[in-house]
């Protein structure tokens, strides 16, 4: 009996390469995986697609696109081209979408408005190809602590404004608990997102957080109220699969099977909507 | 010739106690200081007041009040009483205001809404005393990465909503570049704040940031566009003093005079409105 749970493969990237990680996910009852591009490229696209199929795994998201302005204006077209290739790869592995993030400031830049404008411009440039390939782009707002170096689009509200500006067709929204749990507008903006929500990632916020990137928490070990956020997401109209994605030096240092068993147990115990 | 610059004494708290820090601030041309309560209590309130006066220093803010819900419901009244005492102390040292922050989640709580509600309730409880003492409460939204353990009120918008709810009388807004620089609504909400802005703190965001609390940057060493934010603050109607407040293991390890000389030089070179 498989769970409505997907495994973002970054969660066990230090333990396993793609083939082993996917087999382990299947063994632990996950019904999907979300692979990162480096892992797919290492294994090969055709072989990766075969592995997903052989293990009966959905591919809930391909990580990660966007970041259009992060290389500056001189690398802008290259970023667009790279996102277009990524769409082809996503189609080849039959991914249900691509996770797209804002990207940080261009080297030497202090202009967030520029970074944001380039993100919108880049997105507009690749969107026709994404639509043609029927690969939805799941726009993921990132926690504001990543605004400078990873995700210049930090709030659901801002991501939805961008999706509205571009007409929404071919675009969706990814809600990651780690990135949005603090947002006083979470309920309001999730309701606004409605059926546009196409991904729900789960990961806990630890107190204290010892490293900004690699000290994310297993569900239940931190302060995020997962049932409350699931309720918000379901009320908005998304009843689909959840995806566990944890960047953690601690969990990367544990046996992969322990990580997956823990994630499954916590998902069942901590992450369900109440009632 | 003194500068329109105040020194938050936490910036040199590892190097100096209050008397030495205030004398150093005067020597380097600062026209104000913002002391922390522990430092004032260590030196004594009457003696601290004398030192500020003797050095011709404004007391631009007394740090820091609020945090009403951080101890949970059982400590709520104690937090209110403590804030009331802090208002008396602020009056005694002739502080121009008290910096007030949201505080984190109660121990064991995952309910940010509760923390936020207790903040508003506590603020309402101390506000009559603050008004009677003519000590403005400078409400400071904190970076969302502190939502769990320090500042459950994370955006200018939310702080302004709270100030509106409580009628604004006796309340002001503190804008700290470190906390708000990422906010896509910064310009809009600062304009909404208008004359309610009574404090403008400066501190840079380093890339990478190695520690969430103690790796803040000297102006110019990070990615914050200080002239742009100063322009936003001035356009909103605040033309007053800026206050440098840097929590930094690096700068705490440097000689205090070097820290102040650097802050003054950077303030002159990096933090002015263009044109």
3-state secondary structure B235-266: HHCCCCCEEECCCEHHHHCCCHHHHHHHHHHH
Beta-carbon pairs below 8 A across chains A and B: 78
How far is residue B138's CA from residue B101's CA, in Å, rounded to a whole number?
9
Chain A interface includes B145 (CB < 8 A): yes
**Nearest residue of chain A to residue B185 (CA atoms):** A158
A156 contact residues in B (CB cutoff 8 A): none
* Percent of chain B residues past pLDDT 70, beyond the cut: 99
The Cα–Cα gap between B221 and B207 comes to: 9
Interchain CB distance below 8 Å, B209 and A212: yes
pLDDT confidence of B2, banded at 50, 70, 90? confident
Q: What percent of chain B has pLDDT over 90?
A: 98
Contact call for residues A149 and A143 (beta carbons, < 8 A): no
Orientation angle between helical segments A18-27 and A45-54, nearest 10 degrees? 10
As given in the structure block, the two tokens for residue B106 are 């109660």
ipTM summary value: 0.96
- Which residues in chain A are closer than 8 Å to B214, comparing Cβ atoms? none
Per-window interface: B 168-187 vs A, CB < 8 A: 181-184
Instruction: Select the residue of B105, B158, B184 nearest A155 (Cβ to Cβ).
Output: B184
Q: Which of residues 88-107 of B touch A (CB under 8 A)?
A: 104-105
Are B110 and A224 an interchain contact pair (Cβ–Cβ within 8 Å)? yes
A-chain residues near B181 (CB < 8 A): 112, 147
Model confidence band, residue A108 (pLDDT cutoffs 50, 70, 90):
very high
* pLDDT at residue B274 tops 80: no
The shortest C-alpha distance from A29 to chain B (Å) reads 29
Dist CA B259 CA B240 (whole Å): 23
**A174/A231 Cα distance (integer angstroms):** 16
- Best CA proximity match to B83, nearest among B69, B104, B73: B69
pLDDT score of B275: 56
In which residue are the tokens 């109220």 written?
A225
Q: Does A34 reach chain B within 8 Å, measured CB to CB?
A: no
CB contact under 8 A, B154 and A208: no
Min Cα separation A182/chain B (Å): 6
The gap between the terminal CA atoms of chain B, to the nearest Å, is 22
Residue A225's pLDDT is what? 98
The residue of B115, B182, B208, B219 whose CB has the most chain A CBs within 10 angstroms, and thus the best one to mutate to test that interface, is B182
> Is the CB of A148 less than 8 angstroms away from the CB of B184?
no
How far is it between the farthest Cα atoms of chain B? Answer: 53
Q: What is d(CA B94, CA B117) in angstroms, rounded to the nearest whole number? A: 30
In what side-by-side order are the strands of the sheet with B137-139?
B58-59, B30-34, B3-8, B242-244, B197-202, B171-176, B137-139, B98-101, B62-66
> What is the pTM assigned to this prediction?
0.97
- Residues B159-170: tens digit of each pLDDT: 999 999 999 999
- Per-residue pLDDT, A272: 81
Residue by residue, DSSP assigns A126-184 as HHHHHHHTT--EEE----GGGTTTTBS---HHHHHHHHHHTTSTTEEEEEEHHHHTT-T
**How many Å apart are CA B118 and CA B71, to the nearest integer?**
10
Name the phi and psi angles at A240, rounded to 5. -85, -165
Query: CB–CB of A148 and B223 under 8 A?
Result: yes
Looking at residues A147-159, what average pLDDT do you find?
Answer: 98
Task: Give the pair of three-digit tokens for residue B156.
Answer: 């200018």
pLDDT digits (tens, 9 = 90+) for B82-108: 999 999 999 999 999 999 999 999 999
Q: Mark A125-153 as b/e (b = at least 16 C-beta within 10 Å).
A: bbbebbeebebbbbbbbbbbbbbbbbbbb
């Amino acid at each position: 009996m498989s769970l409505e749970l997907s495994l973002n493969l970054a969660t066990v990237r230090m333990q396993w390469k793609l083939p082993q990680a996917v087999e382990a996910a299947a063994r632990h009852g996950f019904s999907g995986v979300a692979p990162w591009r480096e892992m797919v490229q290492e294994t090969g696209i055709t072989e990766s697609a075969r592995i997903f199929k052989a293990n009966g795994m959905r591919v809930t998201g391909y990580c990660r696109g966007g970041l259009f302005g992060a290389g500056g204006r001189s690398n802008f077209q290259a970023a667009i081209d790279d996102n277009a290739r990524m769409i082809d790869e996503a189609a080849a592995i039959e991914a249900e979408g691509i996770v797209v993030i804002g990207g940080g400031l261009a080297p030497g830049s202090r202009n967030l408005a520029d970074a944001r404008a380039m993100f919108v411009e880049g997105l507009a440039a690749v969107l026709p190809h994404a639509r043609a390939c029927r690969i939805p782009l799941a726009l993921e707002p990132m926690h504001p602590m990543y605004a400078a170096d990873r995700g210049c689009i930090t709030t659901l509200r801002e991501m939805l404004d961008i999706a509205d500006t571009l007409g929404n067709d071919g675009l969706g929204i990814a809600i990651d608990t780690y990135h949005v749990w603090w947002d006083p507008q979470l309920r309001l903006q999730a309701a606004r997102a409605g059926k546009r929500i196409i991904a729900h990632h789960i990961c806990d916020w630890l107190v204290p957080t010892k490293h900004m990137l690699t000290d994310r928490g297993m569900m239940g070990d931190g302060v995020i109220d997962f049932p409350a956020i699931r309720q918000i997401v379901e009320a908005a109209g998304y009843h689909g699969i959840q995806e566990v994605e944890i960047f953690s030096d601690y969990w990367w240092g544990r046996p992969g099977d322990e990580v997956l068993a823990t994630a499954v147990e916590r998902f069942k115990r901590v992450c369900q909507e109440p009632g």
